[in-house]
Amino acid sequence: MELRRKGVDVVSFGIGQPDFQPPPNVIAYAKEAMDAGYNGYGPSLGMPELRECIADFLNEKYGLDVKPDEVAVTAGAKAAVFIGMLALLEPGDEVILPDPSYPLYESVANFVGAKTRFVRLHSGNNYKIRFEDVEKLVSSKTRMIVINYPENPVGSTMDRKDVEALVELAYEKRFVVLSDEIYDHFVYEGSHYSTLQTDHWREVVYYVNGFSKTFGMTGWRLGYVVSNRELISKLSVIANNMYSCPVTFAQIAAAKALRDGLEWFKPILDQYRRRRDLIYSRLLSIRGVKVIKPEGAFYIFPDFSEVIRAKGVKNERELADRLLEEKGVVVLPGTAFPKEAGVNHLRFSFAVREEDIEKGIERIKAWVAE
Ligand code: PMP
């Protein structure tokens, strides 16, 4: 932002935020809700009409029987993860996290005093989590595994058999599967198989989703949890003391948005698929860059090891700094996610116009060639 203020033409692959606005009717619903007086506090676990709409939406999508009291609306998916970890983890409990993964999970696990164990995702397996690797990390102290699919930052998804095997393992060994499925509509190959479709979800799954990505509503701060009703009712204590309630008029609008369905999202998914194909092929055209094609989300995680070596750069952090300073291109260092798997890697968000993808990658290519 500082460089932009100075007049530098910056291309940003940085922030994980859709570049589209919420559908116009959803914005109109929020205005109407404010005019209708939805400006006060609401229930800590969310407005009943939205909890019901979320249950209906999931039931229709996956053929389930989720009840409204098995749903909690939260102030963003981040708050959903935070209050879940706060409710479920004690100091000394072990939590298994993917490496690489969204940094929130490690931060909150550390904050509550839990011990983190990382399961490495391998490019050779298209960054899909391997059941055998998880199994090896499970101990008598394991209290939770976090999975996120499609994944930030690698864009990997999970196959049905792996989701089922993992939930089954959690059921046998009595730990929780915190499943962050916030990118479930950004799937470019095949379809999304949810942890809520497994037999034992009520016993072990803490399902997280939200409106930020699919609806382009990052600033509205609306997320949700689905889990067993005893746990959901306990979350109200934390929610109440932390943020009182999610934003009231936003919830009324979100409920109507869910009722309207997602027909409007289809062209957006096609557009994001084109961007995925474009950034993948453009990155591959840079000498020395290796990259796995993401199956979902809007991130790609290329390996710049050879570039780093050839250019005599110290590491991915220095590489990211130099691309910004010398070429006005924003990328994130892979080690922000948050451990070793990101060494020599960069994360690109491709929630970016095709012209800017062309322009940004062309600049990196020129820098590599210089
Ligand atoms: N989970 C993942 C995997 C994310 O990438 C993000 C946003 N970057 C979030 C959760 C946060 O979502 P929200 O805006 O609903 O808090």
* All structural domains of the chain with their residue ranges: 2-16+265-369, 24-263
Closest among 318, 314, 289 to 301, alpha carbons compared: 289
How remote is the CA of residue 370 from the centroid of ligand 1, in Å? 37
Burial of 115 (0-12, 13-18, 19+ CB in 10 A): middle
C-alpha–C-alpha distance, residues 64 and 311, integer Å:
54
How remote is the CA of residue 163 from the centroid of ligand 1, in Å? 21
How remote is the CA of residue 78 from the centroid of ligand 1, in Å? 6
Mean pLDDT per 10-residue run, the chain (370 residues)? 93 94 97 98 98 98 97 98 98 98 98 98 97 98 98 98 98 98 97 97 98 97 98 97 98 97 97 98 97 98 98 97 97 97 98 98 97
C-alpha–C-alpha distance, residues 218 and 355, integer Å:
24
Longest distance between any two alpha carbons in the chain, whole Å:
62
Q: Which of 15, 17, 104, 247 to mutate to test the pocket of ligand 1 (most atoms within 8 A of CB)?
A: 104
Q: Is 102 in the pocket of ligand 1 (CB under 6 A)?
A: yes
Q: Is 148 in the pocket of ligand 1 (CB under 6 A)?
A: yes
Residue that is written with structure tokens 């998916």 in the block: 77
How remote is the CA of residue 213 from the centroid of ligand 1, in Å? 8
Closest among 363, 351, 290 to 14, alpha carbons compared: 351
Ligand 1 atom nearest residue 151's Cα: 3
3-class SS string, 127-148: CCCCHHHHHHHCCCCEEEEEEE
C-alpha–C-alpha distance, residues 7 and 2, integer Å:
9
pLDDT 10s digits, 209-253: 999 999 999 999 999 999 999 999 999 999 999 999 999 999 999
Helix 48-62 vs helix 248-260: angle between axes, to the nearest 10 degrees? 30
Q: Which residues of 17-41 are buried (b: 16+ CB within 10 A; e: fewer)?
A: ebbeebbeebeebbeebeeeebeee
Structure tokens at 251: 């919830």
Assign a CATH topology to domain 2-16+265-369: Aspartate Aminotransferase, domain 1 (3.90.1150)
Identify the helix (H) or strand (E) that includes residue 72.
Answer: strand 71-74
How remote is the CA of residue 182 from the centroid of ligand 1, in Å? 7
Q: Is 181 in the pocket of ligand 1 (CB under 6 A)?
A: no
C-alpha–C-alpha distance, residues 20 and 18, integer Å:
6
Q: Is 213 in the pocket of ligand 1 (CB under 6 A)?
A: no
Q: Is 182 in the pocket of ligand 1 (CB under 6 A)?
A: yes
Ligand 1 atom nearest residue 80's Cα: 16
Question: Does 24-263 carry CATH code 3.40.640.10?
Answer: yes
How remote is the CA of residue 77 from the centroid of ligand 1, in Å? 6
Q: Is 76 in the pocket of ligand 1 (CB under 6 A)?
A: yes
C-beta neighbour count of 111 within 10 angstroms? 12
Q: Is 146 in the pocket of ligand 1 (CB under 6 A)?
A: no
Q: Is 18 in the pocket of ligand 1 (CB under 6 A)?
A: no
How remote is the CA of residue 67 from the centroid of ligand 1, in Å? 24
Going by alpha carbons, the residue nearest to atom 7 of ligand 1 is 16
Q: Is 210 in the pocket of ligand 1 (CB under 6 A)?
A: yes
Cβ atoms of residues 94 and 142 within 8 Å: yes
Q: Is 153 in the pocket of ligand 1 (CB under 6 A)?
A: no
Structure tokens at 321: 């700094």
C-alpha–C-alpha distance, residues 172 and 135, integer Å:
12
Helix 103-111 vs helix 77-88: angle between axes, to the nearest 10 degrees? 30
pLDDT score recorded for residue 15: 87
C-alpha–C-alpha distance, residues 39 and 17, integer Å:
26
Cβ atoms of residues 342 and 335 within 8 Å: yes
C-alpha–C-alpha distance, residues 193 and 227, integer Å:
17
C-alpha–C-alpha distance, residues 76 and 220, integer Å:
8
Going by alpha carbons, the residue nearest to atom 8 of ligand 1 is 16
How remote is the CA of residue 219 from the centroid of ligand 1, in Å? 11
At residue 295, φ and ψ (nearest 5 deg) are -95, -15
Ligand 1 atom nearest residue 183's Cα: 3
C-alpha–C-alpha distance, residues 82 and 105, integer Å:
8
Closest among 296, 265, 276 to 351, alpha carbons compared: 276
Closest among 334, 330, 317, 325 to 359, alpha carbons compared: 330
C-alpha–C-alpha distance, residues 182 and 250, integer Å:
18
Cβ atoms of residues 210 and 175 within 8 Å: no
